[in-house]
Amino acid sequence: MAVTLKNGYKMLIIGLGIRRMDNKDIKTVLIHAIKVSYRHFDCAAHYKNEEEVGEAPAIALQAGPLKREDLFITTELWNSDHGHVVEACKDSLKKLQLDCLDLYLVHFPLFTHMHAGVGKTKSVLREDGELDIDATISFETTWHAMEHYNKKGLW
């Protein structure tokens, strides 16, 4: 089932989340999921499995008759990458073996200090053990960056 958005684009409402899967099993699980008609896959940079997730659709698309527009791939911007939206998106695209995403989400609505590098998704804790939140980056800044690069066709 799909929901048709105002722009005519269809978003599949049932998907397979790839959070707690063993990385070595992901390709096999997704290939079987595609065979039984799953078309929406939800992953995230933070899960550190985008490379494995990207293998199954690549295999399925090569085998045919499935086309890229038959799949709906979602991934997410990690907390420490809010100041690096385009770099983080391009890193995810490379790992997923895609030219564009169908949906790019903000993983969690806080921004953390200590950018560890795109794709590292490290959450830095303060000395007291609490998450080190960066209040200098606004939601609006991230949103505008995502809008800007959406217009460029990355997602």
pLDDT band at 143 (very low <50, low <70, confident <90, very high): confident
DSSP label of 125: B
Say what the pLDDT of residue 98 is: 93
Q: Which residues are catalytic?
A: 47
Are the CB atoms for 72 and 1 separated by under 8 Å?
Answer: no
Domain residue limits, the chain = 2-151
| Third-level CATH fold of 2-151 | TIM Barrel (3.20.20)
pLDDT tens, residue by residue, 76-116: 998 888 888 889 999 999 999 999 898 899 987 777 766 66
H helical segments located in the chain? 23-35, 50-63, 85-96, 139-151
pLDDT band at 142 (very low <50, low <70, confident <90, very high): confident
Per-residue pLDDT for 122 more than 70? no
What pTM was estimated for this model as a whole? 0.83
d(C-alpha 86, C-alpha 82), whole Å: 9
Per-residue pLDDT for 126 more than 80? no
* Lowest mean pLDDT, pick from 20-24, 35-39, 74-78: 20-24
d(C-alpha 80, C-alpha 118), whole Å: 8
Say what the pLDDT of residue 117 is: 66
